[in-house]
Chains A and B, each alone.
Chain A
Amino acid sequence: MQPEALLLPAVTIPEPLRAPAIVEGHVTPGSLDDQVLQYPARRPPAVWYVALAFTASVMILGFVLIGYTFYMGIGVWGNNRPVFWAFDIINFVFWVGIGHAGTLISAILLLFRARWRNAISRFAEAMTIFAVMCAGIFPLIHVGRPWLAFWLFPYPNQRALWVNFRSPLLWDVFAVSTYFSVSLLFWYLGLIPDIASLRDRTTSKVRRFFYTVFSLGWRGAASHWQHYEKAYLLLAGLATGLVLSVHSVVSFDFAVSLVPGWHMTIFPPYFVTGAIFAGFAMVVIVLVIVRETMDLKNLITMYHLDVMNKVILTMSCLMGYAYVMEGFTAWYSMDEYLHHIFMQYITGTYGWAGWLTIACNVLIPQLLWMRAVRRSYVGMLFVSLAVTVGMWFERFVIIVISLHQDFLPSSWHIYKPTLVDFGILAGSFGLFFTLVLLFARVLPVIATTEVKPLLPGAQPAHAGGHHE
């Protein structure tokens, strides 16, 4: 990638520090195109239709239940007093977190010059967008009258009111909508040269029309690449700050309140870590499926999955640290309310959820210390599924347990989700995987223009800045 050249002068990397080759086997720019760009032109196999039918059915179930909620009101959920926030906010935080892995891979790893990201960045970015779409549903339906959700934005209105800029909930509106717009832009910019490649190789007139429109007439001029690369680097830098800010702002929804168990300074880094953790697990799950079903083993290599698993392991250790710090804060604060809530995390009615969180997020990922587990499908899928479950339950612990016993014992209440709650949660997974399936068949799943410059011999030999 060119941004590397813009960042630092060319250096000779000593042998032990050289990263393994990004692809396996003999891959040329032409063969890469043939391998990756064939899918949009091909008729999908039967198993794809079966999978799509399943995920789309679950998605439709979710939307029907959302419609039911609109008609009946949110009384059909299990939310009660004092557990005003439950599944909807858990799911929101969960999905926004999933999205963070994509931006981390596309932006932060680009700045860190982790070249292995180029092969998986496109898929991870797409997952970011789909996850944020899933996330966006939940605050919208939680407001109860979502057709008035535009009231969240400061616009001149006949009520002569403005929104409250001191509320973290409003910061959230700005953070999440900015995050979605920027992720979409970043993803689309990366797609433009790939869509141009699709445009020039397709034979179907209809497809060619759409590819032409969406490639904006990209012609690969050197003068264009120059600005393009600069824009990409700038976007990466800006998205890096953005991704760290978004989950911090999400954590402010909790930390800025006075609820015991929420009002802690550790929340922003704790949430960002958890987001990256859950997101990487989801990326691993999806990548394994894509790698196997789409025959991309030479492009998404075991090396990629191994590195991803190492990131998951690191994040798991950080999560363990955060959990210990939460307990320490509760003890050291000498605040009896905080102490009580922390004991509820591990011994209360929902104590099982607390222990499930610790087991899934801290204990099980320790298996990844073993190279054999990091490089086996069974091992990594087991860990990633455990992390996905664990991270969902972590948000359950934070939100439901902290709320269900607040300062006033007379208002304590047990929370029980209803079938509608579970249905909408399932529906969000249906939406996510439906979009993933459609994406895998309509657009290039690997950023070919980002992988091509890393292939052997892709850069001019005399340039000297060639980092192979």
Chain B
Amino acid sequence: MSDRTFAVVGLFHNATDLMAAIPRVRAYRLGTVEAYTPYPIHGIEAALGLRRSPLGGMVMLAGILGCVTALFFQWWMSAVDYPLVVGGKALFSWQAFVPIMFEVTVLFATFTAGLGMLLLLNKLPFFGHPMLSSQAIASVTRDKFALAVEADNGTLDVEAAKTALRAAGASALEVLFVPAEEPISLQSQFRTGAGILLSCAVAGYVMYWAIKLFPVVPPMVHMEDQPRLDAQRASAFFKDGHGMQQPVEGTVARGQLPYLIKTPFEAGEKLVNPLPRSGPVLQQGRVVWNQHCGVCHGALGNGVPMLTAAYGAKPANLLVPPIRDYPDGKFYHTIMVGKNAMPSYAADLTEDERWAVIDYVRALQRAQNAKDEDFK
């Protein structure tokens, strides 16, 4: 307890007396006059000259902020960062965002009302207020009303305040002092800091192991942990100890028919292009061409590619005879086994892609050697 006076407090037994006393005590202009009451009193703000609470405006702003935040995040998540069409709805289907906008508006507004009132306006929690250690507080939170003349700028004429309160009808007068501020020692600062560090370290260590071990404790295991046989794992079930068995001899996987043709001539005679020269096929062919072929043979198929300068061999020009007149099967053979410096593309292209790109080559050839009837 320091010797600096905080306030002089007097008690009243009912609200009427309190209200009558407020203007009389305020008239002395000794310091800030504050009342402490067990419940809210009608009209006391005006009597004490308190300013209107700014909470309404704060809550309004927070509500608008909540609404805009919810709208913004829902738009960004649903339409920008993860644009997934659900149920055929537009990506920014704002009607569906309204419920969450409303909830977030209420959430922001209510917490601003509650915590803004407590923390910002009332400066609570605060356990060091002199009133809390006064004699009067027990009556104030029960059924009595206290009126306090509080020091402005640290100065208060205690005797004058007592006289004013007594004249206004207060009883049980009490002088409250500002609590002494004891400097915090270096040792205790160090101890607190070390305690915080140690707690963080322990908490971090525990969290590390908890997060590491929790997912493998039954039943928290994830879905990939199932009692099934994985392909590359050992198993005691079969004689050879392999989890996955070899297929029956001569088994052919889908799309993996062996290519048995030896020469380009044989291919030219035997193989027929199964795909029609339709729009989608040519589209697919163009994609394949640009991805795999055009780099060397050129975007137009004329053997003048982007890589000419750095590339020693000369890629074939597919637009001139005799290559132009090759049957489809001969092209297919070249794709499958390669030719000169060109490697095999059998592993890179599917059956359909090979035929589609051949169709596209035909289109390129036709485009560069257009006949009269093409112009219509």
Q: Which residues of A contact B (CB under 8 A)?
A: 1-2, 5, 28-30, 33, 70-73, 145, 147, 154, 160-168, 170-171, 174-175, 178, 181-182, 185-186, 188-189, 193, 196-197, 199-201, 212-213, 216-231, 234-235, 238-239, 241-242, 245, 249, 252, 449-450, 452-453, 457-463, 465-466
Contact = CB atoms under 8 A, between A and B. Distances in A.
Nearest to B73: A154
Given A171-B99, A231-B116, 18 more contacts: A2-B41, A165-B78, A171-B103, A185-B110, A189-B117, A201-B138, A222-B37, A225-B37, A229-B40, A230-B55, A234-B109, A234-B113, A238-B63, A245-B99, A453-B39, A459-B41, A461-B16, A465-B43
B83 to A, nearest CB: 10
Given A2-B42, A227-B121, A222 B141 contact: no
Contacts of A189: 114, 117-118
B102 A462 contact: no
Given A182-B106, A226-B50, A462 B16 contact: yes
A181 B111 CA distance: 9
Interface in B116-138: 116-118, 121-122, 124-129, 131-132, 137-138
Contact of B214 (A2, A147, A168, A449): A147
Contacts of B125: 213, 216-217
A224 B39 CA distance: 11
Question: What are the nearest 8 A-B pairs in CB distance?
Answer: A29-B143, A231-B117, A216-B125, A162-B77, A460-B19, A171-B99, A222-B35, A166-B96
A407 to B, nearest CB: 18
Interface of B: 14-16, 18-20, 34-45, 48, 50, 53, 55-56, 59, 63, 73-74, 77-78, 81-82, 84, 86-87, 89, 93, 96-97, 99-100, 102-104, 106-107, 109-111, 113-118, 121-122, 124-129, 131-132, 137-138, 140-143, 214, 218-220
B124 A216 contact: yes
Given A29-B38, A217-B132, A222-B36, A227 B53 contact: yes
A218 B124 contact: yes
Nearest to A72: B219
A459 B100 contact: no
Contacts of A185: 110-111, 114-115
Given A71-B219, A219-B132, A225-B37, A460 B102 contact: no
A2 B97 CA distance: 37
B101 to A, nearest CB: 10
A335 to B, nearest CB: 21
Contacts of B122: 221, 223-224, 227-228
A449 B104 CA distance: 30
Contact of A30 (B15, B137, B143): B143
A87 B81 CA distance: 37
A345 B89 CA distance: 33
A193 B143 CA distance: 13
Main SS at interface, chain B: helix
Contacts of A175: 99, 103
Contacts of A73: 219
A30 B142 contact: yes
A223 B117 contact: no
A449 B143 CA distance: 10
Query: Which of A70, A200, A222, A453 gathers the greatest number of chain B CB atoms within 10 Å?
Result: A222
B149 to A, nearest CB: 14
B100 A170 contact: yes
B231 to A, nearest CB: 25
Contacts of A181: 107, 110-111
A40 to B, nearest CB: 14
A451 to B, nearest CB: 9
Contacts of B14: 457
30 contacts: A30-B143, A33-B143, A145-B220, A160-B82, A162-B81, A165-B78, A165-B96, A165-B97, A171-B100, A175-B99, A175-B103, A178-B107, A185-B110, A193-B38, A200-B137, A200-B138, A216-B126, A220-B36, A221-B34, A223-B50, A224-B124, A226-B45, A226-B53, A230-B53, A238-B109, A238-B110, A452-B38, A460-B16, A460-B19, A463-B42
A154 B15 CA distance: 52
A174 B104 CA distance: 8
B97 to A, nearest CB: 6
B36 A199 contact: no
Given A228-B40, A245-B99, A222 B113 contact: no
B100 A174 contact: yes
Contact of A227 (B16, B39, B117): B117
A164 B86 contact: yes
B340 to A, nearest CB: 45
B87 to A, nearest CB: 7
B261 to A, nearest CB: 46
Contacts of A167: 86
Contacts of B124: 216-218, 224
A449 B56 CA distance: 23
Contacts of A225: 37, 39-41, 44
A222 B106 CA distance: 28
A118 to B, nearest CB: 11
A313 B114 CA distance: 34
A167 B106 CA distance: 20
A162 B82 contact: yes
A458 B127 contact: no
A166 B93 contact: yes
Given A154-B77, A218-B124, A235-B110, A197 B38 contact: yes
Given A185-B111, A197-B141, A225-B40, A238 B106 contact: yes
Contacts of A182: 106-107, 110
A197 B39 contact: no
Nearest to B83: A162
Nearest to A216: B125
A166 B100 contact: no
A145 B225 CA distance: 14
Contacts of B50: 222-223, 226
Given A171-B100, A174-B103, A182-B106, A222 B89 contact: no
Contacts of A226: 40, 44-45, 50, 53
B40 A453 contact: yes
A212 B115 CA distance: 18
B142 A462 contact: no
Contacts of B37: 220, 222, 225
A201 B141 CA distance: 9
Contacts of B36: 219-222
Nearest to B22: A222
A165 B43 contact: no
A452 B43 CA distance: 16
Contacts of B121: 227
Contacts of B116: 231
Contacts of B81: 162
Nearest to A466: B42
Nearest to B75: A165
Contact of B39 (A166, A239, A241, A452): A452
B335 to A, nearest CB: 37
Contacts of A163: 77
Contact of B140 (A219, A452, A457, A460): A219
A326 to B, nearest CB: 23
B35 A221 contact: yes
Contacts of A193: 38-39, 141
